[in-house]
Chain A
Amino acid sequence: MRQNNMVAMILAGGRGSRLYDLTNKVAKPAVYFGGKYRIIDFPLSNCANSGIDVVGVLTQYESVLLNSYVAKASLWGLDAKDSGIYVLPPREKIEGFGLYRGTADAITQNIDFIDYYDPETVLILSGDHIYKMDYSKMLDCHNDNKADATIAVLEVPLKEASRFGIMNTDATDRIVEFEEKPKQPKSNLASMGIYIFDWKKLRKALLDDVKNPDSNHDFGKDIIPGFLNGGLHLQAYRFKGYWKDVGTIDSLWESNMDLLYRSEELNLHDSAWKIYTEDVTVPAQFIGPKAHVSNAYINQGCVVNGTVKNSVLFTGVVVEEGAEVSDSVLMPYTVVKAGAKVQRILTDDHITIGVNQTVGQPDGEILLVAKNVKGD
């Protein structure tokens, strides 16, 4: 039997173009994070840990890898009899083939999927945020307030509030106004892009939205304002904890570094809320006789015989003798050859830094290394 009456839909179709070469071949949710994970492992693990059984993943941009990855539902334990992860890329229909024109349109085009499970509520998630959250608590808040929709919000510093969609609320945290990136924010409650909707009400709004020629078919721009204008009950759900949209190379690097410097907030060692991911069949890490390792986050399959500090090493990274790695994020199977020195870089997977090469600067922007660097 299903554990609750909520279906989760993860929006995973975006490219994340500010990640440059990292998203040439894969969508942003499939980008690696934290030594062994992919970004989408976070919402998927949150779903699994929150007792959600049915998860739809809406893919569009470069979706082959992402589709085959999330289809292995057993990785997140979502392969029990009444549960599953369902990949929903755009499809050909009787009225023709249509790409998803916006976040809301992606859901509209899959109304049949959601109807099949006949849920009371639908949880809309983004596939490219790093955070740990118990959605069942948010559902309790939604039900307790008899809300038509509930939006998870994060308190951000007021001076940064103009970068976010801001919710203005009354004393009971009922949302009275929504402003997208306001110049003069009235509140510091930023939308996290996590929504719980009463399915019947959302379904109606989506069917109205699809007929509106002026709509962007977007949750933030169209559906939420539409709910507010229609006098429906929108509740804010305050989330406290680590949350980051890793949209740029700098923020992706920084978020990985948070595992070293803000491990109290982003703690992946908590056995009560594990983040699940594909487990690669590799041995434990070999830290060689010539190695010096300090302040580092290192995954299994690494072979380190050089110096590593202030860095995150993903599966199968090799740091040869005499090589030095500092303040860097090395994606899976990066090889730093003997004598090479890298500093403040973030590599794509399977990159080789050649013998005796120096890559990266002591300060300034993080350097993305997406091509092999030839050695001596």
Chain B
Amino acid sequence: MINTLGIVSYDDFVEIPGLTDTRPVPSISFMGRYRLIDFVLSNMTNSGISNIQIYLKNKPRSVIEHVGTGRHYNINSKSGKLRILTGEVNAQAEVYHHDVSAYMANMQYIEDAHQEYVVIAPSYMIYKFDFNEALLAHKENKADVTVLYKTVDNADTSFARIDTLTIDKPRRVVAIDKNQGKFKNRHISLSSYIMSKEVFIHLVYLAHETSSLYTLRDILKDQLPLMNVMAYPVKGYVASINTMPEYYKVSMELTDYEMAKELFNPQWPIHTRTNDSAPTQYATEADVSGSVIANHCQIAGTVKHSVIGRDVVIGKGAVIEDSVILANVEVAENAVLKHVVVDKFARIVHKNELVGTPDRIIYVKRKDVI
């Protein structure tokens, strides 16, 4: 166990219209059997962190149910702790609900933690990383803050509105900006930070005193000239699930097993809650290729280049292509779905054609009957 408190940061600026209407970002379903938060939690517990705080804005039900006591992430139920904390801010206006106000509201639980360091990471960033590596560098560099980043060559089409870093030698962060999509090559911030608990508390108070609108990222940006803020590169697959096009694109991309292998490494398991679901049943008429399929499905139709969640029923003659179908969806016989994202418990039973385009994805709401 490393001497570090894990903080799954408050998902203040990410909104994916549709997907986040009924659930917070951490519990968005992903790649058939996961929820986004599984990746950050697995990174933390695989790194030996067993004390974790999850900050949530609202609608905590699905996260509480999914993470439970944290036992399935390998958190010891006695010596470890998984806490779900909410903003609890009285302010009416949405702008006052942000990470710093949530940390302020729960400062007691941060101050009381025995750990010397904190790792702060969001659930919308998907990557595989051992925080020990960065903590070691953090100590060697005598850094105040270490920011994880990934150098990418597709910042013009991906990572919209995500922070970019300007890095000086030797990897000192000199500027933080929003990715406007103008350039291909950028250092993308994973919005994942390592710092001592002392520095973290200091920054939270400083942000709070500076402005009631200030976030941790804002105060960090202000402090760049005054503090030793270092960048640390993350190798391997990195994705940001902060818009619907990104969600769709990343889901499609990861149906390629060669790509997915970077993220799903048996040496670094991504833990999730089991649903005790049976294997998936393919009927004689089924024709499935290029897809990721969760358990407990009953498939009698054609599925190509798609992601199918748990307990999805696909009738005979139905055709699903280039689509993401979340759990418990029913697709009736002969329905045709292309470039569609179907949310949980929806039923495609009346209309037999739903065809979007790669640039215009059709989204079907949770529990909708179409």
A residues with CB within 8 A of B: 34-36, 74, 259-260, 263, 268-269, 274-277, 279, 281-300, 303, 305, 312-313
Residues facing A in B45-73 (CB within 8 A) are 71
Q: Does B294 sit within 8 A of A, measured CB to CB? A: yes
Interface residue SS majority, chain B: loop
**B280 CB to nearest A CB, Å:** 6
**A108 CB to nearest B CB, Å:** 35
Q: How far is the CA of A362 from the CA of B284 in the complex (A)?
A: 19
Flag if B279 contacts A36 (CB, 8 Å). yes
Instruction: State whether A293 and B264 are in contact (beta carbons under 8 Å apart), knowing that A283-B270, A285-B292, A288-B257 are contacts in the complex.
Output: no
Residues facing A in B305-356 (CB within 8 A) are 305
Q: B289 touches which one: A260, A263, A285, A287 (CB < 8 A)?
A: A287
Q: B278 touches which one: A36, A260, A283 (CB < 8 A)?
A: A36
Flag if A300 contacts B282 (CB, 8 Å). no
Flag if B298 contacts A292 (CB, 8 Å). no
Q: How far is the CA of A298 from the CA of B283 in the complex (A)?
A: 11
Flag if A294 contacts B282 (CB, 8 Å). yes
Interface residue SS majority, chain A: loop
**A149 CB to nearest B CB, Å:** 33
The closest CB in chain A to the CB of B272 belongs to A281
**A312 CB to nearest B CB, Å:** 8
Q: How far is the CA of A107 from the CA of B92 in the complex (A)?
A: 66
Q: Does B197 sit within 8 A of A, measured CB to CB? A: no
Tally of contact residues, B, Cβ under 8 A: 39
Flag if A279 contacts B290 (CB, 8 Å). no
Instruction: State whether A286 and B279 are in contact (beta carbons under 8 Å apart), knowing that A291-B289, A300-B33 are contacts in the complex.
Output: no
Q: How far is the CA of A266 from the CA of B305 in the complex (A)?
A: 31
Can you sample 13 A-B contacts with CB below 8 Å?
A36-B278, A36-B295, A283-B32, A284-B32, A287-B288, A287-B290, A289-B289, A290-B289, A294-B284, A297-B279, A298-B293, A300-B294, A305-B257
Flag if B276 contacts A277 (CB, 8 Å). yes
The closest CB in chain B to the CB of A295 belongs to B284
Q: Which residues of B contact A313 (CB under 8 A)?
A: 279
Instruction: State whether A288 and B289 are in contact (beta carbons under 8 Å apart), knowing that A35-B278, A268-B278, A300-B294 are contacts in the complex.
Output: yes
Flag if A275 contacts B278 (CB, 8 Å). yes
**A191 CB to nearest B CB, Å:** 29
Q: How far is the CA of A275 from the CA of B234 in the complex (A)?
A: 40
Flag if B295 contacts A300 (CB, 8 Å). yes
Instruction: State whether A269 and B290 are in contact (beta carbons under 8 Å apart), knowing that A276-B276, A294-B283 are contacts in the complex.
Output: no
Q: Does B260 sit within 8 A of A, measured CB to CB? A: yes
**A307 CB to nearest B CB, Å:** 11
The closest CB in chain A to the CB of B306 belongs to A287
Q: Which residues of B contact A259 (CB under 8 A)?
A: 281
Instruction: State whether A294 and B276 are in contact (beta carbons under 8 Å apart), knowing that A284-B295, A287-B293 are contacts in the complex.
Output: no
Flag if B282 contacts A35 (CB, 8 Å). no
Q: Which residues of A contact B294 (CB under 8 A)?
A: 284-285, 300
Q: How far is the CA of A129 from the CA of B32 in the complex (A)?
A: 32
Q: How far is the CA of A282 from the CA of B266 in the complex (A)?
A: 8
- A sample of 12 more A-B contacts (CB under 8 A), given A292-B287, A297-B279, is A34-B278, A36-B279, A268-B278, A279-B274, A282-B266, A283-B264, A285-B293, A286-B292, A287-B303, A294-B287, A296-B282, A297-B281
